[in-house]
């Protein structure tokens, strides 16, 4: 079994309230969940209007499949015009990890 996580540090565009922030983040979270069947949520910077940290996790029996899935998720977020992807932190754990 292999598990992989991504943590996206996002800068939001013209956002001036937490309500506007939710309107930007929710569709990204929903698209990742629907398209890739991964667990995803806003996990940090909830009190800041123009910043967001989104965490994503996935499990697979195949390391190559999981790496490809994480790559696709990263590309989807990076392609969103309403956010700027500042950084991505990737963690990958395999059966041999302790």
Domains and CATH numbers, the chain: 2-92 (3.30.70.1120)
- In angstroms, the CA 60 to CA 25 distance is 26
Average pLDDT rounded to a whole number, residues 8-16: 93
Contact 92, 59 (CB under 8 A): no
pTM: 0.88
Q: With cut-offs at 50, 70 and 90, classify the pLDDT of residue 95.
A: confident
Percentage with pLDDT > 70 across the chain = 98
Residues 47-65: what's their mean pLDDT?
A: 94
Question: Confidence band (pLDDT; 50, 70, 90) for 98?
Answer: low
Q: Which pLDDT value is given to residue 96?
A: 74
User: Among the residues of the chain, which ranges form H helices?
Assistant: 18-36, 63-78
- Checking if the pLDDT of 90 tops 70, the result is yes
- Is residue 94 over pLDDT 90? no
């Amino acid at each position: 079994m292999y598990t992989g996580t991504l943590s996206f540090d996002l800068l939001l565009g013209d956002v001036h309230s937490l309500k506007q922030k939710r309107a930007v983040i929710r569709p990204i979270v929903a698209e990742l969940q629907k398209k890739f069947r991964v667990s995803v949520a806003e996990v940090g910077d909830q009190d800041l209007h123009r910043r967001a940290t989104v965490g994503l996790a996935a499990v697979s029996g195949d390391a190559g499949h999981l790496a490809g899935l994480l790559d696709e998720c990263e590309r989807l977020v990076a392609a969103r015009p309403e956010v700027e992807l500042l950084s991505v932190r990737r963690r990958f754990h395999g059966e041999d990890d302790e």
